[in-house]
Amino acid sequence: MKALAERRARITRVREVQHLHAIGEAAMAEGKVVQLEGNAARLAALRMSLTLTPGLTTGAGLGNAGEMGLRLDTVRHGLSDAIGAAKAIAVTRANERRDADIRRESAERLENRAVAELQRLIEERMAANIRRRTRKEAPDG
């Protein structure tokens, strides 16, 4: 019975480490989504800032601004696929974290049950080993 309690304690420790690892992976995936969304927002802001100054403008200046805007739009739209993939990964990691938490809690309950059963068994053995005192009968006299 002691071996069972120790094995369940070991499983609980492993499940705790797995849960912490899953938390870290989920946080990294969510951070990646935030980073990509921030990059897309910066690209959009940079694209909007490409305005020509009033006054005389050369054709080369207009062509450069147009090409830069096109490149920024292409990169920003390319990020939308990466953002979608990162969101899908983040959802998967969040589900893995939830599943790891469930397994950790289950292992803790099993460990607590094993420890309680071990304590009950020890108490029963101790109670069985207590010798009952018998009274010595007094001589008639």
Decide if 135 is inside a domain. no
How many distinct structural domains can be found in the chain? 1
Say how far apart CA 100 and CA 18 lie, in whole Å.
6
CA angle (110, 114, 116) in 5-degree steps: 115
Rounded-to-integer distance, Cα 33 and Cα 38, Å: 8
Is 134 within the bounds of a domain?
A: no
Residue 121 lies inside a defined structural domain of this protein: yes
| pLDDT tier, 133 (very low <50, low <70, confident <90, very high otherwise) | low
Instruction: Render pLDDT for 7-49 as a digit per residue (tens, 0 to 9).
Output: 889 999 999 999 999 999 999 999 999 999 999 999 888 888 8
Does the residue 17 lie in any domain? yes
Its domain, for residue 80, covers 2-51+68-125
- Is the residue at 46 inside a domain? yes
Q: What is the pTM of this model?
A: 0.69
89 lies in some domain? yes
Q: Which two tokens stand for residue 113?
A: 């049950």
- Structural domain contains residue 87: yes
Across the range 97-126, mean pLDDT stands at 91
Q: Does residue 133 fall inside a structural domain?
A: no
Q: Are 47 and 77 in contact (CB under 8 A)?
A: no
Give me the mean pLDDT over the 51-74 stretch.
Answer: 79
Q: What is the CA radius of gyration of the chain?
A: 34
